[in-house]
Structure 1
Amino acid sequence: MPFIVFLVVVIVLISTTIRIVSEACAMVVERLGRFHTVWRPGIHFLIPFADRIAKRINLKEQVADFPPQPVITKDNVTMRIDSVVFFVITDPKLYAYGVENPIAAIENLTATTLRNIIGSMDLDTTLTSRDEINTQMRSLLDVATDPWGIKVNRVELKNILPPEAIREAMEKQMKAEREKREAITLAEGKKEAAIQTAQGNKEAAILNAEADKKKTILAAEAQKEKEIQEAEGRAQAILNVQRAEAEGIRLLKEAGADDAVLRIRSLEAFVKVSEGKATKIIIPSDIQNMAGLLSSLKETLVSPSTPVTDSDSGNSSTPAAESSSTSDAPKEVNGNEEA
């Protein structure tokens, strides 16, 4: 029986002596009422009746969400701001002995720091400078909590709540601003559409003018080409006529044509000239002398058995007489009379 009691006492002593510290935790140990050491994660032995665990500390990053705090801006607008502080304990000894209630100390320090920062800003700056406020608060809180073994990693402003009247005025202002931007956007859209339409009309007019110009140039070139072709055709026709006449003259020469044939050809040319619209024709003396030749040809062609009337004899003798009495000067006759 005494052995069993001794065994129980030993087991109780061992259970109260051995301590296991979990990961991300620490224990502040006091010996005889004074700070002795900090136990880190692992197994540790506690001396009974001499050592005491003064504080168990969580080394994880912690979040402290504080209720909204009333603050006053530079332009005397009272608003409520609630903040969130992210911190981690870096020194368990300072955390255990630095301040009585670290969380409450951080809350009060956050409220006073926030009032100091917001008091130097007006309402509009406060609403648009969250990042700047967060940075300033984190820097100030980190310096202030360093003696407590606490490192402030981040500070965030969760809500900024201005008074109801201010919120309504801001909403009206925002609505008016949006309506203004809408009107400006519509006006700019109409202006841009008008500019684009005018630009399109201008480009269309330019293209039409260029097309008309090209069409005129092409028509002029076509007309020019046509006139050139026609001129070349007329030149070729004239050349062909001249060649034919030259060939005819050559053939006449080769055939041994006498002066009578040449005079007949001249008379044919005179007949063609008399078919025009001229009312008067100047007849050279050589053409007048051909009248006798024509009379001789007529008498030769008429048969001897055919009686000759007075009119015929008069008509036939007249040219001869005229030819014999006419001088070498040119004679002006009516173009409508027969030659």
Structure 2
Amino acid sequence: MEALVTLAGGMMSFIIGLIVVLLIIFLATGSIYVVKQQTNYIIERFGKFHKVALPGLRIKIPIVDRIAKKVPLRIMQLDSVVETKTKDNVFVTIPVSVQYQVQSVADSYYRLANPERQIQSYVYDRVRTSLAKLDLDDAFSSKDQIAQDVETTLSAAMNAYGFAIINTLVTDINPDPTVRASMNSINAAQREREAAISLAEAEKIKIVKQAEADAEYKRLQGEGIAAQRKAIVDGLVEQYESLRDAGIGAEAQEMLLLTQYFDTLQEVAKASNTQTLMLPSNPGGVNDAMTELRNSLFTAVKAGEQRPAPAPEPRATRPQQ
């Protein structure tokens, strides 16, 4: 009985020792490993794909199994700079950012040796094809369309290799510095031209309105002067007729003319721009001036006399009884 107990104790010790040794071997050879979150491990057995190890504590057989690839499942970004030529023969550089993610772990590892270079190749081909159909001005306004074309092409191509294209961004279009300076000059010239046209239109409107105002002012001023002259002539004619009806002779007429003559001289002297006034110095010259004024007045009076007399008002007749 004691022999059996001794044998059992020996077996137990052997088993514990074996477990300890195996544990040490597993730890020493990395057979026990931990897969992190958002990561998958590709495990090969004797060089052949065996399984995909998910996140957590995992065990592999030493020498038999090995970790072939640690595949990240997070969204990754690949930045590329494409140099190409537009339809109007302008060389530009276009930064393109592609965001992608692994969908099939095994396909992404075994079907493509270098997925980043493969993605870049598709980006270069698609961007150059799209830009060859666009002028430089159209390219600036079609960045979103270019990005959409690249994304559509990449999605169709990379899906077969276990990759999903999340988003594609064309962040900028950079022409040569000399071309950019020329474009800025053209834009500045166009804005200056539009500003000049607007200023010219405003000046034209201002001039037209000022001319209209001046014409209206002169029209009203002419009407006022004409009315003033007519009132003066009517007043002179009325005074002359009153004197004639009163039986006053030519002396009164000459006095009236002389008064008007001196009033006219006084008004001329008041004018601010009058520098010199030429007057006759001998009595004969004064008589000539008086004769001219008298003739003018007589002409006005005669014109007034030639006016048709107003029609007499009809008298009221009494009805016969």
What is the match of residue 28 of structure 1?
42
1:1-339 correspondence runs (5 A): 7-14=20-27, 16-66=30-80, 68-186=81-199
Q: 1:12 to 1:187 in 2, by over 3 A?
A: farther
Aligned in 2, Cα 1:10/1:143: closer, same or farther, shift over 3 Å? same
Structure 2, unaligned runs of 5 or more = 1-13, 214-321
- Please report the RMSD computed on the Cα atoms of aligned residues, expressed in angstroms: 2.9
Distance 1:193 1:61, change over 3 A: farther
CA contact (8 A) 1:32 1:50 kept: yes
1:31 is displaced (CA, Å) by 1.4
The 3 A distance-change label for structure 1 pair 89 and 6 is closer
Tell me the alpha carbon deviations over residues 214-268 of structure 1, each in whole angstroms, 9 at most, x when there is no partner: xxxxxxxxxxxxxxxxxxxxxxxxxxxxxxxxxxxxxxxxxxxxxxxxxxxxxxx
Contact 2:35 2:57 in 1 (8 A): yes
CA 1:193–1:43 in structure 2 vs 1: closer, same or farther (change >3 Å)?
A: farther
CA offsets per residue over residues 260-297 of structure 1, 9 Å max, x none?
xxxxxxxxxxxxxxxxxxxxxxxxxxxxxxxxxxxxxx
SS of residue paired to 2:172: strand
- In 1, are the aligned partners of 2:122 and 2:153 still within 8 Å (CA)? no
Distance 1:44 1:188 in 2: 82
- Distance change >3 Å, CA 73–CA 10, structure 1 → 2: same
SS in 2 for 1:127: helix
TM-score, normalising length from structure 1? 0.52
Are residues 12 and 165 of structure 1, via their aligned partners in 2, closer, same or farther at CA, if it must alter by over 3 Å? Answer: same
Q: 1:187 to 1:23 in 2, by over 3 A?
A: farther
Write the distance in 1 (CA, Å) between the matches of 2:149 and 2:143: 10
Task: Give the whole-Å Cα distance in 1 for the aligned partners of 2:106 and 2:45.
Answer: 14
Question: How far has the Cα of 1:12 moved from its partner?
Answer: 2.9
Unaligned runs of 5+ in 1: 202-339
Give the equivalent residue in structure 1 for 2:258: none
Corresponding residue for residue 260 of structure 2:
none
Q: Which amino acid in structure 2 is aligned with residue 114 of structure 1? A: V
Letter matched to residue 57 of structure 1: V
| Length, aligned pairs only | 197
- For residue 77 of structure 1, what is the amino acid of its counterpart? V
Q: Distance in 2 between matches of 1:173 and 1:129?
A: 20
| TM-score (normalizing by structure 2) | 0.55
User: Given the superposition, is the C-alpha separation of residues 184 and 41 from structure 1 closer, same or farther in structure 2, using an over 3 Å criterion?
Assistant: farther
Following superposition, the deviation at residue 176 of structure 1 comes to: 1.1
**What residue number does 1:218 align with?**
none
The one-letter code sitting in structure 1 at the alignment partner of 2:38 is: A
Amino acid at match of 2:144: D
Instruction: Determine if contact 1:13/1:48 at 8 Å carries over to the other structure.
Output: yes
CA contact (8 A) 1:98 1:147 kept: no
* Counterpart in the other structure of 2:231: none
Alignment partners' CA distance in 1, 2:206 and 2:56: 77
Q: Counterpart of 1:71 in structure 2: which amino acid?
A: T
Query: How many Å separate the matches in 2 of 1:41 and 1:8?
Result: 27
Distance in 2 between the 1:143 and 1:17 partners? Answer: 39
Distance 1:187-1:25 versus aligned 2 partners, 3 A rule: farther
Q: What SS does structure 1 have at the residue aligned with 2:43?
A: strand
Map Cα deviations across residues 48-82 of structure 1 (whole Å, 9 max, x no partner).
2221111101110011112x322111222222222
For the Cα contact (< 8 Å) 1:71–1:79, is it kept in 2?
yes
Structure 1 residues 189 and 50: CA distance shift in structure 2, 3 A: farther
* Mapped partners of 1:45, 1:190: distance in 2: 89
Between the aligned partners of 1:182 and 1:37, the Cα distance in structure 2 is 72
Residue 179 of structure 1 and its aligned partner are, at CA, apart by 1.6
Q: C-alpha offsets along residues 305-328 of structure 1, whole Å, 9 cap, x if unaligned?
A: xxxxxxxxxxxxxxxxxxxxxxxx
Residues 1:11 and 1:194: Cα distance change in structure 2 (over 3 Å): farther
- 1:56-109 superposed Cα distances (whole Å, 9 cap, x missing partner): 01110011112x322111222222222111111111111101111111111122
What is the match of residue 300 of structure 2? Answer: none
Kept after mapping to 1: 8 A contact 2:42/2:70? yes
* 1:159 Cα deviation after fit: 2.9
Deviation at 1:6, TM superposition (A): 7.6
